[in-house]
Amino acid sequence: MHGYIPPERFFPYLTWQDVDTLLDKARAIIIQPVGAVEQHGPHLPLIVDAAIGAAVVGQALHKLEAGIPAYCLPPLCYGKSNEHWHFPGTVTLSAQTLMLMLTEVAESLYRSGFRRLVLANSHGGQPQVLEIVARDLHQRYSDFVIFPLSVWQVPHAAADLLSPQERSQGIHAGDAETSVMLSLLPDQVQMTRAVKEYPSGPPADSLLSLEGKLPFAWTTRDLSASGVVGDPTTATAEKGDQMLAMLSDGWVEVLRQIYQFQLPSPEL
């Protein structure tokens, strides 16, 4: 049941006594992957975000030195995906439901003595939800440190493998996600059905953007008839292998820093 996660770091394989007697529990890192089950165009399966998140975290945990206690919870495959719900197959939670689920998972861990939780998000439609959960939990439990992180935002050079247009506009089911899925689950990728589709606006010189400092609200059907926003036709498994290696290396460094992290304290 551990999937991509090393079995010795899969939290549910522990017994309650293992948890009760775990050394350095307050510094141990618990990771909750948060993905989505949603449409990814005609060529990719619905599980893309959840699979990529679990695989990146799993590869990082394989690489992380054994002296750093880090454990992964079962991936939460469902997320807030209502921007895709016009496409059949998308399964979405409301923001309120996702917040409640993550909050109750976190509070369960806190009762067990853990004080460091990473929310490893791999779906672009919900980072703000995770940030709200993290802030509210820390406000409620001042010694509980929650890190709402994106799988794709750790240090890496994967963008160097993409075209300039794909880097700026390929936000869903494009080259990057398709390449990684060709590496992870090639039998579930139907490249003969892959289509290239970019949105028509806003113009390049606009201050407003789909994602960025000045975004506007949109649903996927505003942007794409196929469900693709990008160009998956240029994807390869070799690029996917490189991206996974880069992302997991970035996560190793982030986990090392989380293990050493100390909350700031005000200077008098």
pLDDT in tens, 35-92: 999 999 999 999 999 999 999 999 999 999 999 999 999 999 999 999 999 999 999 9
Contact 208, 202 (CB under 8 A): yes
- Long-range own/partner contacts, residues 3-7 (CB < 8 A, 24 or more apart): 3/54, 3/58, 3/75, 4/54, 4/55, 4/57, 4/58, 4/59, 5/54, 5/57, 5/58, 5/61, 5/72, 6/58, 6/61, 6/62
- The Cα 240–Cα 244 span in angstroms is 6
pLDDT score of 11 = 98
Residues spanned by the domain of 111: 28-260
Residue 267 lies in a domain: no
Count of domains observed in the chain:
1
Residue 208 lies in a domain: yes
pLDDT score of 211 = 83
Task: Identify the CA nearest to 46 among candidates 56, 62, 35.
Answer: 35
pLDDT score of 128 = 97
The phi, psi pair for 225, rounded to 5°, reads -85, -30
The count of C-alpha atoms lying within 13 angstroms of the C-alpha of 143, restricted to the half-sphere facing its C-beta, is 9
Residue 74 lies in a domain: yes
Give me 40's structure tokens: 């990814």
Residue 54 lies in a domain: yes
Q: Which residues, 6 or more positions from 116, have their beta carbon under 8 angstroms from its beta carbon?
A: 26, 27, 28, 29, 30, 145, 147, 258, 259, 261
Start-to-end CA distance of the chain, whole Å, equals 50
Looking at per-residue confidence, does 211 or 13 come out higher? 13
pLDDT score of 265 = 85
Point out which residues pair with 148 in neighbouring strands: 119
Residue 75 lies in a domain: yes
Task: Provide the mean pLDDT of the chain.
Answer: 96
pLDDT score of 45 = 98
pLDDT score of 85 = 96
Residue 206 lies in a domain: yes
Mean pLDDT along residues 151-178: 94
pLDDT score of 214 = 92
The amino acid occupying position 96 is Q
Point out which residues pair with 92 in neighbouring strands: 79
- Residue 225 Cα to chain centre, angstroms: 25
pLDDT score of 201 = 73
Residue 245 lies in a domain: yes
Residue 10 lies in a domain: no
CATH of the domain at 117: 3.40.50.10310
- Burial level of 14, CB count in 10 A (0-12/13-18/19+)? middle
| Top mean-pLDDT range of 145-149, 168-172, 198-202 | 145-149
pLDDT in tens, 99-155: 999 999 999 999 999 999 999 999 999 999 999 999 999 999 999 999 999 999 999
What is the SS3 assignment for 191?
Answer: helix
> What confidence category does residue 202 fall into, taking pLDDT thresholds of 50, 70 and 90?
confident
- The Cα 171–Cα 230 span in angstroms is 6
Looking at per-residue confidence, does 100 or 201 come out higher? 100
